Structure 1
Amino acid sequence: MTTQAVHSGSGKVLQALLLALAMAAVVGTALGFEHIGGYIPCALCLEQRTPYYLGVPVMIVAAIAAALKAPSLVTRALFVAGGGLMIYGAGLGVYHSGVEWGWWEGPADCAGAAGLTTDAGSLLSDLNAKKPPACNEAALRVLGLSFAGWNVIASVVLAAACLRFAFAGRAR
């Protein structure tokens, strides 16, 4: 086995772990804004987390596959799957951003029940105290972008990295 082949295998492990860490950081930031910052997510916000919840384990499996020297096609397919999840996440973010800007209508159930308890004794008081946000109202804008807008940027960057790592070195 050549030094380049060994370096390439360990490189794929590192790339996959970095992507898993980056995906976890993005969704962790969203969870931080929710649980520490008090920003209650709407239904579309919660849906945008799904590609990250799936992407992190996919990238961990890619790292394991690379570390165990699985066929290159397996590792590449996992990177492509991660890229596909992030593209899907970007699409969700674009859709949500469009709803926030009023470019198109959101789903009929746009205000979810996030933050409400299911305890019958406190349900009525929770309903009076907590109002889940509507999907068409941005909870916060930073540099003109809402959480959904920032998710588009993060998802596109992560998708590009996944796909670049999947196809890097193919031409050799």
Structure 2
Amino acid sequence: MIAATGSAGLLFGAFVFQALGYAPCAMCIWQRYPHAIAIGMGALLLFALPVLQILTVGALSALSTSALGVFHTGVERGWWEGPTSCTGSGLDLSQMSASELLPSASSSSSTLVMCDEVVWEFLTLSMASWNAILSAVLACLWLVAIAKNQRGRLLEIAEVS
């Protein structure tokens, strides 16, 4: 539950930054989906459904958003190329409008955020970097929960024997 709450906090933080005017890029949005899944897994734990499967999906969600954060950080720092759809590498963007670059962008939005630009950082780490680090910590919490769950099952089996 702590890990699911952590994902809720990170997702809430992303929405707060967005409300403060830091528009997300496409890769930022991608990093939100696994957090939503992890939150859902936390909610399912309240119903005592198959715990091991729920914990596993939660761990995989946290690991995937962490991996996306690492990838996004690398794109921001120029360590590797990102998707051409949001970095513009190899494209001539000078003649394209925001609606051509991002078809889902509303006509009233003039903010175009490229995935290879750092728009905010704290202690020299971007939002993507912080997401990667904090999501890795959350993944560890999910993995600890899996280990405890399995240990409990082994103890139950040993008591029956």
User: How far did 1:100 drift?
Assistant: 0.3
1:134-159 CA distance string (max 9 Å, x none): 10001111001000000011110110
Q: Which runs of 5+ in 2 are unaligned?
A: 88-100, 156-161
Aligned position for 1:141: 121
Aligned position for 1:25: 9
Q: Distance in 1 between matches of 2:22 and 2:82?
A: 20
User: How far did 1:19 drift?
Assistant: 2.6
Aligned position for 1:78: 54
Q: Distance in 2 between matches of 1:113 and 1:135?
A: 12
Q: Distance in 1 between matches of 2:68 and 2:142?
A: 18
Aligned position for 1:154: 134
Cα gap change, 1:93/1:141 in structure 2, threshold over 3 Å: closer, same or farther? same
Q: Which amino acid aligns with 1:165?
A: A
Q: Distance in 2 between matches of 1:23 and 1:131?
A: 27
1:7-46 superposed matches below 5 A = 16=1, 18-35=2-19, 37-46=20-29
Please tell me whether the aligned partners of residues 69 and 129 of structure 2 are also in contact (alpha carbons under 8 angstroms).
yes
Please tell me whether the aligned partners of residues 42 and 134 of structure 1 are also in contact (alpha carbons under 8 angstroms).
yes
TM-score by length of 2: 0.79
Q: How large is the RMSD of aligned CA atoms in angstroms? A: 1.9
TM-score by length of 1: 0.75
User: How far did 1:113 drift?
Assistant: 3.6
Cα gap change, 1:90/1:145 in structure 2, threshold over 3 Å: closer, same or farther? same
Q: Distance in 2 between matches of 1:139 and 1:114?
A: 22
User: How far did 1:99 drift?
Assistant: 0.1
Please tell me whether the aligned partners of residues 114 and 132 of structure 1 are also in contact (alpha carbons under 8 angstroms).
no
Give percent identity, aligned residues only.
32
1:108-119 superposed matches below 5 A = 108-110=84-86, 113=102, 116-117=105-106
User: How far did 1:83 drift?
Assistant: 0.5
Aligned partner of residue 85 in structure 1, secondary structure: helix
Aligned position for 1:98: 74
Please tell me whether the aligned partners of residues 101 and 136 of structure 1 are also in contact (alpha carbons under 8 angstroms).
yes
Aligned partner of residue 47 in structure 2, secondary structure: helix
Please tell me whether the aligned partners of residues 100 and 138 of structure 1 are also in contact (alpha carbons under 8 angstroms).
yes
